[in-house]
Chain A
Amino acid sequence: MQNYDELRECVIAGKKAQVAELVRKHLDEGKTAKDVMDNGLIPGMAIVGKKFQEGEFFIPEMLMAARSLNAGLEVLRPLLEASDVKPVAKVLMGTVKGDIHDIGKNLVAVMLRGGGFEVIDAGVDVPPDKFVELARENGADLIGLSALLTTTMPSMKDTIDAFQSQGYRENVKIMIGGAPITQEYADEIGADGFARNASYAVELAKKLLGVAA
């Protein structure tokens, strides 16, 4: 375990090139892709999440860390696929129709990837039907809906209703988040959970899917 320290530090500090390099080095040393992922990248991102929650990190640091994580994942992806290692679960993330804010959604996507989830990013201003279609296509287990404007919150309900009316609601869990969102609103529109920040989103995702933390 000791020898992942530097990799973790580089993920935390957002050193993209070094992360890719260190991942390759560990693989060369004979570590499995899964091991590098589980004991290097994921714990690194967990610390990033903690620092974010504690106020030490903010959006730029998070996005820097995200880039370094992605650089590491790029190296690992072909190996993980070849060795048939499944991601924890598949999450479909998007900002709901009428809303075009993507920073919050991207932060959640980062933290989920860092938590070992596969994330499919549907983008912004995503119509309800598109969410259902993408969920089906990709076999998503969890849907993450983001809205930053009080005026676009109703699109979250529309999206959940679309899953319901198209008979796909039972196949997925749905979590929501964004500045104006509250637990009460989540309850009101029948979402399975509400995450007040990107770090908590990972915890919630695991809880909703019954995945060990």
Chain B
Amino acid sequence: MPEHKITFLSQNKSGFFEHGTTLRDAALELGILIESSCAGIGTCAKCKVVVKAGGSPLTEAEKQLLSRRELEKGVRLACRAEIAEECLCMVPDTSLPFAQENRIQVSGVDILSELQPEVRALPVPIKHPTLGKKYFYFDQLLDALRSSGVEVQDSDPQAIRDLPNVLSHHEQLYAVVCGKRLAAFCQDQPELYGVAVDVGTTTVAAKLLNLRTGEVLSVNSAINAQTAHGADVVGRIYYCERHPGGTRRLHQLLIKQLNAMLENLTAQADIRLEDVYQMVIDGNTVMQHLALNVNPAKLGTSPFAPILQGPVSLSARELDIRIHPAGSIEIMPNLGGYVGSDITAVLTVLEIDCSDDLQVVVDLGTNGEVVVGNKDRMLCCSSPAGPAWEGACISWGMRAANGAIERAEMIDGELQIKTVGSKPPIGICGSGLLDLVSEFYRAGLIQASGRILPPDMLSEKVLDALKNRVQKSDNGPFEIRIAQVDDERWITLTQADVRELQLAKAAIASGIDLLLKELDRKPSDIAEVYIAGAFGNHVRSQDVLDLGMLPMVEQERIHFIGNAALTGAEAVLRSKAAREKAARLARSVDYIEISGRSDFQDAFVEAIAFRQLAEK
């Protein structure tokens, strides 16, 4: 096979690749990560690039997914177009996930938990040997620890190797203990830090804590580096199945990313990496498997059973995570099926397990989950809403980066929008999508069935300015113009976008509905609703109610708790009580597989329409 040169003009990078290599593969090889929600199977049309020369003939997928104007301008899908000869192309900003700083929720609910971390530094007196008496330094130190009430079951070999260098004429040294494992000896009292991590399908968020003072030193978040290989968990599983060594590759991407985030966190706080002794990780079941380099294939087909529940405790060395090599990596336990340890973590910071009243927890993410219950019984289920909340599969969808429409409001009958960073609008993110659909629904542009009404069917009460936003799209259905990008193009909300939102919210609503039924309770029994996840506080409770994502409850009962999964991991890092609570929850919360149930389809279809609004 001949090789051709390809140049990415926008990145000023080039390289030689075999004839027939896709532009996406070439870009990846050159370190250019192009946006993709379908992992390169040619269905999402997020990987648009402009080919100036040297591309292969258009494929069917491109003819279908690209508009006439795009085709005229040489827009191609990077996953379809191949290098046919010397090739020149450009990657527009909108096709680059890392092009802009993403604003992702890192805060969560506040929990005031005790500070009783698993990692401790204990002073140990050194009783120096005398000639003629049987004596071993290491064993003497263990004895001393034992007599102060610390039972060490297992010691890191490197701690023993280091001991000769640490022993001095001092009267004491410090033993760093993680749970029942002796991690290190230090001459002076060491600093102790810990990191909490929430590995989401789309976003990884982390927080650095001083374990002696409890102070939060820095926070950091990034797009999950695995997204190039699948937008949702099923995509990731497919990648592991389809590519030899795929599991290992995704595992390594995650580890590499965690190490990069650790560098950031410690640099920001100006501390040393080797003073970090513990990392607590939560995430959905697939992320948990990948963190452990365990093939998640079993989760990909019915009956969707994970390989393990956890918790799993490993040394940092075993996972190649660059904190102190003997530091511990704690991977929290999952709850079953796709309901992962991120939900265990969310439940750890809430008090459902000691409440008499019925509570509902919804995690709005790519992999959505629902928990319903009280102290007597808690049920959870997975309600995969798909990546719509992250802007994937939405025509003008994007993540919450600069220029994303994140809020929309109807003021005096006209639409007002707000973008991230107050930049000119370039797309719509999850919270913006929710706002837009609910505003247009309340304004009467969209029916309860989800249909965008043609202008001639709109009520006379709708102002002309709003009416004029409804336009017939190129391929038939109506769409609503949101904002103008340039002379030719408008950001629009299409009929298909509304349908995607309907499917996503129906997954959540039907999940709640089925769990309520399983508990033999009614929507009116719900005392509190907690909504965790990426949008955090960027959503209005009125909207989730009007769209029918939740059963009808009073607005005051809906609480947005942001990235509570990260807060949960932090709680486990801080306190023994939280750690024990998480373990208890993992045992006691029952997992219900709803997708295989005969009543699921009915509940799901039932939940597709929006809530009927009272006549104004």
Q: Could you list which residues of chain A lie within 8 angstroms of chain B, going by C-beta atoms?
A: 53-61, 63, 97-103, 106, 125, 149-155, 179-180, 182-185
Q: Does B499 contact A (CB under 8 A)?
A: yes
- Please give the number of chain B residues whose Cβ is less than 8 angstroms from any Cβ of chain A in the complex: 37
Query: Does chain A have a CB within 8 A of B237?
Result: yes
B230 contact set on A, CB distance < 8 A: 150
Number of A-B contacts (CB under 8 A): 83
CA distance A63 to B449 in the complex (A): 13
> By the criterion CB–CB under 8 Å, are A98 and B302 in contact?
yes
Contact yes or no, A58 B608, CB < 8 A = yes
Sample of 13 A–B contacts (CB below 8 Å) = A53-B476, A55-B451, A58-B450, A58-B451, A59-B605, A100-B596, A150-B235, A151-B237, A151-B241, A152-B300, A182-B41, A183-B61, A184-B42
CA distance A98 to B42 in the complex (A): 23
Bound complex: CA of A63 vs CA of B595, how far in Å?
18
Contacts of B300 in A (CB 8 A): 98, 149, 151-152
A106 to B604, CA, bound (A): 14
Please report the C-alpha to C-alpha distance between residue A99 and residue B237 in the assembled complex, in whole angstroms.
14
Q: How far is the CA of A125 from the CA of B234 in the complex (A)?
A: 17
Are B301 and A56 interface neighbours, CB within 8 A? no
- Is B60 in contact with chain A by the CB < 8 A criterion? yes
Please determine whether B234 and A150 come into contact, CB atoms closer than 8 angstroms: yes
A59 x B608 contact (CB < 8 A): yes
Best-surrounded residue of A61, A99, A101, A151 (most CB of chain B within 10 A): A151
Option from A58, A59, A152, A179 in Cβ contact (under 8 Å) with B301: A152
For residue B237, which residues in chain A have a CB less than 8 angstroms away from its CB?
Answer: 150-151
Per the 8 Å Cβ criterion, residues 443-458 of B in contact with A are 449-452
Q: Bound state CA distance, A106 and B234, in angstroms?
A: 22
Chain B residues closer than 8 Å to A103, beta-carbon distance: 601, 604-605
**Bound-complex Cα distance A153 to B301 (A):** 10
State whether A55 touches B499 (Cβ < 8 A).
Answer: yes
Residues of B within 8 A of A101 (CB): 595
Chain A residues whose C-beta falls within 8 Å of the C-beta of B183 in the assembled complex: none
Do A149 and B234 form a contact, CB below 8 Å, given A103-B604, A182-B41?
A: yes
B451 contacts A56, CB within 8 Å? Answer: yes
Contact A182 B608 (CB under 8 A): no
Q: Which 9 pairs, one residue from A and one from B, show the smallest C-beta to C-beta distance?
A: A98-B301, A151-B300, A55-B477, A55-B495, A150-B238, A54-B476, A100-B596, A100-B302, A151-B237
Q: What is the bound-complex CA distance between A59 and B241, given in angstroms?
A: 31
Set of chain A residues within 8 Å of B496, measured between Cβ atoms: 55
The minimal Cβ–Cβ distance linking A95 to chain B, given in whole angstroms, is 10
Cα distance, A101 to B502, chains bound together (Å): 17
Whole-angstrom CA separation of A154 from B301 in the bound complex: 11
In the complex, are the beta carbons of A125 and B477 less than 8 A apart?
no
Cβ–Cβ < 8 Å partners of B478 in chain A: 55
Q: A56-B451, A60-B449 are in contact. Are A151 and B234 (CB under 8 A)?
A: yes
In the complex, are the beta carbons of A149 and B476 less than 8 A apart?
A: no
Contacts of A53 in B (CB 8 A): 476
Q: Decide: A151 and B605 in contact? CB cutoff 8 A.
A: no
A125 near B302 with CB under 8 A, answer yes
Within 8 A of A (CB), among B285-307: 297, 300-302
A151-B297 contact in complex given A54-B477, A55-B452, A183-B60, C-beta closer than 8 Å: yes
CA distance A152 to B300 in the complex (A): 7
User: Chain B: which residue is nearest A150 at the CB level?
Assistant: B238
